[in-house]
Structure 1
């Protein structure tokens, strides 16, 4: 995955896991085979559908647990990591740790979260005074004061689509990334993204109704009668729909140039007087003379609506968004209401057990504290060294690719190689851990613990405003099973969680490791040269480093890959969006081909020795396909296609392979087979 510049910088990515094959013990040997040949569906030709060939038998038999919207390699990895974290947290909770220590903080946070007796007894008492405060509001400035305070209290660095009216973060200035500035992003809606308010297909209407029912239930749970609750939810929904009309689409958010608007504070104060920007920045404790207002259309719309929408309607909106922000911190009725809405989006039938949810939330709120304890036990210096060596091999292969490109001139090649060699590697965990000394955790107050963490996370972010960019900071916690590239730091980031089995195993043959973690590394590096990353120079500034002729050739290739993926169907009425997914598709194709070339530099890559009946090349491609062995509910898959910048798992495998000659040779793919493309039509970028 990459970190999308037009969105919230720190995202959980979640959905973008890039993981490899699960190790497997055979019944007749103690040797690990690493490729699960039992998952292969030999009735399918590799050249017709390689994803189905590699994973088909597993796909036929796999059952999605009721507590999840997916199963497969992602879930296996997640459960392993969460199991390790749960053990750490339970030990911390049981030990008499020194007050103020990270062990005490994470242990007591976890204890407060699993204490459902206290949480249920409190019902919605933690927010009663806030709801009363909203009821007492008499003017828009008063309303804005509360909305601003809640921007701080509910801040979560892992969530982009915040229901708060303000989307505020601090990050590097995209055109001068030696300095951090304030960013303002579109926000204020409760559905996944703007198009959910305007599509009229049956699936979307079901989601709209489920969301309205959710809002209705929240109002009912806090004292309104049924008819009033229904009316209130419609009022809130209509405000959101008006705000959503000003939002940019997911595709438009990918245009980094069009989403950069550095503007003076004086100008936004004059142009948007109803918002009261001076009061906003004073309340959050920030001093700045300019901001990057990424989507000014949203704030222009908000400014107008603050004048045209009645104050009583805005009060209902703020009450609803307060409750949606805090629902999972309140009693069971509120948690159930939240789940009943989200299950329509995901297809998940049951809530995950409480302990699993609190493990995830502890990682989200106290990530560096829990991360320290995790890496002490589950990440070794040897693993870090091996990954560093593997990255070096892939960088070497990448340099060879750039030098041999037939469509790029020497001047652009020279600059591209400089950028490649300037990419910083962050492996395992941060060089320095966050200090949580300002956070007080009480084992009997789960709600207050979350708010305290939110405020501390916000204050930490705010402390960077106006200061030089600290490129040592991470956007993911150490136990995360994911990876990312940050174009403004020009760095690749591989948390400890992803650098272990089943993605990487020191005992696996090179074909498996290069087909697994290798292509992930290649994928992340390629983001430096995709249709977004290519807009940034080696220092991470938005700056053109291309000749006009080479940029034209590159853009033509981007259009080709967009057209290819536009033709890939997921449902009868829904195809992959080639423009939305183009950056990830470029990274998938580049990452796989670069990893393959790096693999060919190894002893195994140069040999023809078979393991379990497969050649080294075949094992590489099988490992690549196994890395996306996932089965999703239809509801989850539909939402994914409509909102996520990645293609679906099958097309993330088949799309790159149908353009890659070594795959054709490895599996003897012939004309007439479904994945076959004429050599002149095969796309090669990096």
Structure 2
């Protein structure tokens, strides 16, 4: 369940993972939901196994950045370009048993984990670490997660003070205060509250509040017959967790919790509605919210969160809030206590004994995502350590694994992509001169961040103990919330990063009007300084174009070059733009991922526009880079063919059926197959490069092709 709205970032480029996905509670647009994919060929065979990539050296792809051995030449490019470019590789790719999906992003995520593990192992072996240093805290955080004997001996003891506090709650007012008091710590709430950059005043922070209260990914899992089996599994999980903590009438309370959350789900906005930045920016005072959404003690809630004196806040799903508050008021306190006990236990389960951690994994990864096995404990320990001390690890990662020349080459690529889009803007016949000038001004004001932050996070106030996993997690949550509170009345930190350097992803932040590329994504298959330029322009160039495109997608285009949420379009131009995006969305609505499960064009619109921009602008930049010269032919492939193959190769991935079902219901990114096919079939040069003809499955006549950016 989402609790916090932290930071203001925008659009990330990759696959499903939750890190900075372009969801209802973030102004980031992320390349990948999961922030991870890959290609099997031209990698040492011994390094690919059941648990994924092994070693700390980056993979290589062919002799010029793409491996033709991974293609399926029996497939016509126009019938399925994903299969044509990646079919043989996909046939040989096995999803590791501890994953719900695997591919190029996951390959590089493995690489990051392996490097982090090597760094942590070296720290564990040292006896000279200064007490209280970042290095000592990293080692101790990892030790605490790996201290299985102590964790098992404690079992649920660390949780008992929370459960006792919940049992003592005797009124709706006391429960509201408890929900506010536990923001940043363990506890559930019907409302997600956090601190982010103000979209209309991007030089200051603001408190935001929105819908929450669900234990499954979103409303569809409660209301759609497509997910009826998941609802039954969730009911069993509710009962199991309540039984393990000794809660009264676990089966009966499980049903009452499910009934309660189903009512909340009916009040929730849809994932597509949550994307609309015009609708999700609603200015209130606490007093106005209390009057508009009675039934919940808003003064007690915000006061307990130490936010009682804020002059204003932004309410996201304003029409849902009164309904959820009314549901809260109508729910017996006994049911609210059971609901709170479950959500608190669910959040804590991964740092409790195996019976809790295994139960949580069985529902959240196996049942919802289709993952057959749990990740090894040492890998989970790396994730925990990174979650608590991400930038401390990132600083060491950059020192060991990020060459300075990669940053310089990226700066040149970004400059070329910006130049390409600037030229393209002037050619659009659907946009007036007035709007073109405003678009050019916004493009010129883009900030670019590459590799790592200039200022690293200070963890000196965070206490980490080698024998206290539960406490470490609790203190890390509090540390993050204190960090947010401390900056509420301070100027926005424009140098702050929304991702760590070791994250395999990229993002656009609309309030800063910036594009950000962490160090870990600047490796093959995305970026290879020794690769053919056409492949690099198709791969990392496509990523750069994607992130720039988020500044001009259906939501990012609502903010100007200074990050202010306002309309800078003429009404006629905006109408023309929305007509184009509607046509693009209609294309994606037809893409069937599994029988009965289709891409949601409205939910994935921003990412689909980003992909379309990435391919179109990346190709233009590649063509400009040739300076009028003919591109060489390599292994029989022309420059433009290699560009499109480079784009396809970065999406070389597979997902389990449950993962894909979850993705189309919750994720802003289309599945990998349609991140390849969807953009290229709207580019004229693709048809020419691969002789795509009428009658082939994904052929579009020129008048049906959608050309936005």
> 3-state SS of the aligned residue for 1:176?
coil
Contact kept? 1:426, 1:491, Cα under 8 Å: yes
1:520 counterpart residue number: 543
* Alpha-carbon distance between aligned partners in 1 of 2:238 and 2:652, rounded to the nearest angstrom: 36
1:298-351 CA-partner distances (Å, limit 9, x unpaired): 432333233321111111111011101111110000011111112111110000
1:102 counterpart residue number: 134
**Alpha-carbon offset, residue 93 of structure 1:** 2.5
> 3-state SS of the aligned residue for 1:251?
helix
**Alpha-carbon offset, residue 238 of structure 1:** 1.5
Q: Which moved more, 1:247-256 or 1:31-40?
A: 31-40
2:75 counterpart residue number: 44
Contact kept? 2:594, 2:657, Cα under 8 Å: no
> 3-state SS of the aligned residue for 2:614?
helix
Contact kept? 2:235, 2:255, Cα under 8 Å: yes
> 3-state SS of the aligned residue for 2:204?
strand
**Residue 225 of structure 2, aligned match among 173, 179, 200:** 200
1:169 counterpart residue number: 194
Do residues 130 (structure 1) and 162 (structure 2) align?
yes
**Residue 81 of structure 1, aligned match among 112, 130, 133:** 112
Do residues 255 (structure 1) and 273 (structure 2) align?
no
Contact kept? 1:18, 1:483, Cα under 8 Å: no
**Residue 399 of structure 2, aligned match among 372, 376, 387:** 376
Map 1:277-676 → 2, pairs under 5 A: 277-286=298-307, 287-342=309-364, 343-603=366-626, 606-676=629-699
> 3-state SS of the aligned residue for 1:610?
coil
* Alpha-carbon distance between aligned partners in 1 of 2:101 and 2:693, rounded to the nearest angstrom: 34
* Alpha-carbon distance between aligned partners in 2 of 1:419 and 1:577, rounded to the nearest angstrom: 29
**Alpha-carbon offset, residue 251 of structure 1:** 0.8
Contact kept? 2:513, 2:562, Cα under 8 Å: yes
Q: Which moved more, 1:17-26 or 1:501-510?
A: 17-26
* Alpha-carbon distance between aligned partners in 1 of 2:348 and 2:633, rounded to the nearest angstrom: 56
* Alpha-carbon distance between aligned partners in 2 of 1:485 and 1:12, rounded to the nearest angstrom: 7
* Alpha-carbon distance between aligned partners in 2 of 1:535 and 1:148, rounded to the nearest angstrom: 32
1:507-541 CA-partner distances (Å, limit 9, x unpaired): 11101111111100000000111111111111111
* Alpha-carbon distance between aligned partners in 1 of 2:402 and 2:290, rounded to the nearest angstrom: 49
Contact kept? 2:406, 2:522, Cα under 8 Å: yes
1:112-140 CA-partner distances (Å, limit 9, x unpaired): 01111111111011011110121122222
> 3-state SS of the aligned residue for 1:494?
strand
**Residue 102 of structure 2, aligned match among 48, 67, 71:** 71
Contact kept? 1:218, 1:320, Cα under 8 Å: yes
* Alpha-carbon distance between aligned partners in 1 of 2:118 and 2:633, rounded to the nearest angstrom: 40
> 3-state SS of the aligned residue for 1:262?
strand
1:194-219 CA-partner distances (Å, limit 9, x unpaired): 12111123xx1221111111111111
* Alpha-carbon distance between aligned partners in 2 of 1:606 and 1:480, rounded to the nearest angstrom: 37
* Alpha-carbon distance between aligned partners in 2 of 1:580 and 1:170, rounded to the nearest angstrom: 24
**Alpha-carbon offset, residue 98 of structure 1:** 0.6
**Alpha-carbon offset, residue 80 of structure 1:** 0.7
1:24 counterpart residue number: 42
TM-score by length of 1: 0.94
2:211 counterpart residue number: 186
Contact kept? 1:19, 1:498, Cα under 8 Å: no
Q: Which moved more, 1:624-633 or 1:571-580?
A: 571-580
2:56 counterpart residue number: none
> 3-state SS of the aligned residue for 1:540?
coil
* Alpha-carbon distance between aligned partners in 2 of 1:451 and 1:11, rounded to the nearest angstrom: 28
Do residues 145 (structure 1) and 177 (structure 2) align?
yes
Contact kept? 1:363, 1:477, Cα under 8 Å: no
TM-score by length of 2: 0.91
2:48 counterpart residue number: none
Contact kept? 2:41, 2:61, Cα under 8 Å: no
Point out where structure 1 has 5 or more consecutive residues left out of the alignment: 156-162
1:212 counterpart residue number: 235
* Alpha-carbon distance between aligned partners in 1 of 2:476 and 2:191, rounded to the nearest angstrom: 19
1:15 counterpart residue number: 33
**Alpha-carbon offset, residue 583 of structure 1:** 1.3
1:244 counterpart residue number: 265
Give the 3 Å change call, closer, same or farther, for CA 654–125 of structure 1 in structure 2: same
**Alpha-carbon offset, residue 613 of structure 1:** 2.2
> 3-state SS of the aligned residue for 2:183?
helix
* Alpha-carbon distance between aligned partners in 2 of 1:170 and 1:31, rounded to the nearest angstrom: 46
**Alpha-carbon offset, residue 174 of structure 1:** 1.6
Aligned residues: 674
Contact kept? 2:101, 2:654, Cα under 8 Å: yes
Contact kept? 2:41, 2:70, Cα under 8 Å: no
**Alpha-carbon offset, residue 404 of structure 1:** 1.5
Indicate the RMSD between aligned Cα atoms, in angstroms: 2.1
